[in-house]
A and B are shown apart, each in its own frame.
Chain A
Amino acid sequence: MLYTKELAYAYPGSLPIRFPEIRVGAGQSLLISGESGCGKTTLLHMLAGLRRPSAGQVIIDDVHMTGLTSKEIDQFRGRHIGIVYQQPYFIQSISVLDNILLSPYATQHNEVENLATRLHVGKVLSRYPYQLSVGQQQRVTIARAMVNKPKVILADEPTSALDNKNCSAVLDLLLGEAQVNQAALIIVSHDDRLKSELKDSIQLNSIQN
């Protein structure tokens, strides 16, 4: 479903960071771990099409992301990629339900209640984001990432702000949703608690060549 080839990114004025090859199939999951500052988030953003790589390719569902125009990338991301951030970002002025259905590519308008119930946020849809607990907020962002039935789910440190109980709950939900959607799940985290839970993992070295 998703794989990368010779991916590299150079911030202005520094040496390029080279990334190992990544390959994740539909319904599979992968943990990418590493110290802070080793480029985990950069990698995730390149996979999401939010940042263009300096070299190499990202191929999702046989589409070469690097060959698309920025407009096509925005559309592709909207249709096929669901992103869960470390911090639960919201549009603060609109309700939880509207935040979940934020994407112009949201396809699950009818099923949003099922989705929310699966994620245990069915009862807070009419509230506003600031009225939720941290755990609820994180689950709402997962719901938002799922609302377009993504082929790829990208999660950036989804658990590092959570306690153990919430951590495994959120991980279970991510794995479960990836199964439901037959999506490729990639989690980027330095959270060691995840290593024991996920079979496949890649370690990024903090000092690249």
Chain B
Amino acid sequence: MLVKIAWKNILHKPLNTALCVSLLLFGVAIISLLLLIQYQVEQKFDRDLQDIDLVVGAKGSPLQLVLSAIYHLDAPTGNIKLAEARKIMESPMVDNTIPLAYGDSYLGHQILGTSPDYLEKYNAQFLEGEMFSKSMEAVLGADVAKKSGLKIGSEFLGTHGEVSQGHVHEESPYTVVGILDETNSVLDRLILTNIESVWQVHADHDGHGEDDEHHDHEEGHDHEHHDHDHEHHENDNERHDHDEGGHEHHHHGEGEDHVVTEFERDSMEITAFLVNFKTRMAMLNMPRIINQETNMQAVIPSLEINRLFYMIGVGASTIRLVAVGIMLMAGFSVFFVLYGRLENRKYELGLLRSVGYRPVHLFRLLVLEGLILAAIGFSLGWIFSRVGLFFINTRVENDFNLHFEALWVPGEFWLLLLTFLVGIVSALLPAWQAMRMDVSAALSKN
């Protein structure tokens, strides 16, 4: 009966209820949304980071390098000479490296030249088809395959740069040879091919001489080195660091159908490469050496990402403070509503006492009302946060290729507790007053 009365009382005063609930709702919705996004951004960034120790690329903003080379959320900082990169790649301290060459895109999906190691790093499984083995063969990430509708055997043309209206490389179509299963990583949004393809496309393209983009102008004669590197990864990435003599052979085996041999001018370029070291010591020393002694930039991505989270965190905690303020206001409004109604309800409370309810029952009744308000506020706030997430998704999916799931985030359990706490605490004083009321005085008022 008490639960029924508490519930009916809340419905009976819709305006009071709306006030309390809406304040609770906004507080919960904002905090919940923040938790959802923060949690998933961190998860996503963590997943994409894998165990990459170091990113090496052209000089520029370290954050930009990390965002472009690992997360593909930003434009690359520029290109580096493969010859220079190889000095690092072949260092005995290096366990393995993965080269990255950016160039084109297809319908907004980035085409990334790399080695099969890159796919392995993210534990990619093939849904269909197989790994690229020749130039101009492409493997599609799960999202790309879904959105583009390309199938095994389909051909498509890369567009220069990331803009959809860019120059189309009509001379060099890619052929889809594989489609990846979902990895929940950055891989899902990429079209992967080997480095030579990127070189080849831009070699063809270079003939037109109309390339005005700042990045990806791959050309050069030094392709032997690279080619070797690539094949090597594919066949035997564990024994990466020795077997120098094997290079040339491999190169001649598979590199022949490449057009790259035409380029004799500069050294080849890649955009960046990812490094794993053998020892932690190397991880500490190498970045400094690279940054001081070469034209390249080395960045420890985990540090950079921590810095980014810290910067975002300052903004997020401000918003969280506002939300906690709203929750506090909600608590006060629950308090004022319950307390203010106490005077009007003294007959009802007296009546309850006179039919046999004990003071502790009245206490429970008011706390129950606070709890019900909190529960409604939390539920609606939770729903609102999901609706908000939907709208945020529609924007970030296009802008950043991020998609947030409407999951239950661990932090929300604490939010639930906090909300209930607000409901209970703000009901305590009114409940105490109700418990201590003088029934006889309340009922003898004429």
Contact = CB atoms under 8 A, between A and B. Distances in A.
Interface string A61-99: 000000000010011011100010111011111100010
Given A91-B351, A94-B5, A94-B8, A50 B356 contact: no
Interface stretch (A100-108, A116-124, A131-139, A175-183): A100-108
Contact residues on A (Cβ < 8 Å of other chain), bracket: 20 to 34
B443 interface: yes
B356 A105 contact: yes
A18 interface: no
A51 B440 CA distance: 6
User: Do most interface residues of chain A lie in helix, strand or loop, or is the interface mixed?
Assistant: loop
B353 A50 contact: yes
Interface string B403-446: 00000000000000000000000000000000000011001101
Interface residues of B, number: 25
Contacts of B355: 78, 83, 102-105, 144, 148
Interface string A45-57: 1001011000000
A205 interface: no
B4 A89 contact: no
A102 B352 contact: yes
Given A50-B440, A50-B443, A89 B348 contact: yes
Nearest to B9: A93
A74 B355 CA distance: 8
A83 B350 CA distance: 12
B144 to A, nearest CB: 58
B358 interface: yes
A41 interface: yes
A45 B5 CA distance: 25
Contacts, number: 75
Contacts of A98: 1, 4
A42 interface: yes
Contacts of A90: 348, 351
B4 A103 contact: no
Nearest to A71: B358
Contacts of B348: 89-92
Contact of A74 (B356, B443, B446): B356
Contacts of A87: 347
Contacts of B361: 104
A14 to B, nearest CB: 15
B356 A103 contact: yes
Nearest to A44: B444
Contact of A104 (B8, B9, B357, B444): B357
Interface string B1-12: 100110011011
Nearest to A75: B356
A90 B12 CA distance: 13
B354 A48 contact: yes
Contacts of A75: 356, 358
Given A50-B440, A71-B358, A102 B8 contact: no
Interface of B: 1, 4-5, 8-9, 11-12, 347-348, 350-359, 361, 439-440, 443-444, 446
Would you list the 9 A-B pairs with minimal beta carbon distance, nearest first? A78-B356, A93-B12, A103-B355, A93-B8, A51-B440, A45-B440, A50-B440, A89-B351, A41-B444
10 contacts: A50-B439, A74-B358, A74-B359, A77-B354, A78-B355, A83-B355, A87-B347, A91-B9, A93-B8, A94-B5
Given A91-B351, A93-B9, 4 more contacts: A50-B439, A74-B358, A91-B5, A94-B8
Interface of A: 36, 41-42, 45, 48, 50-51, 71, 74-75, 77-79, 83, 85-87, 89-94, 98, 101-105, 144, 148
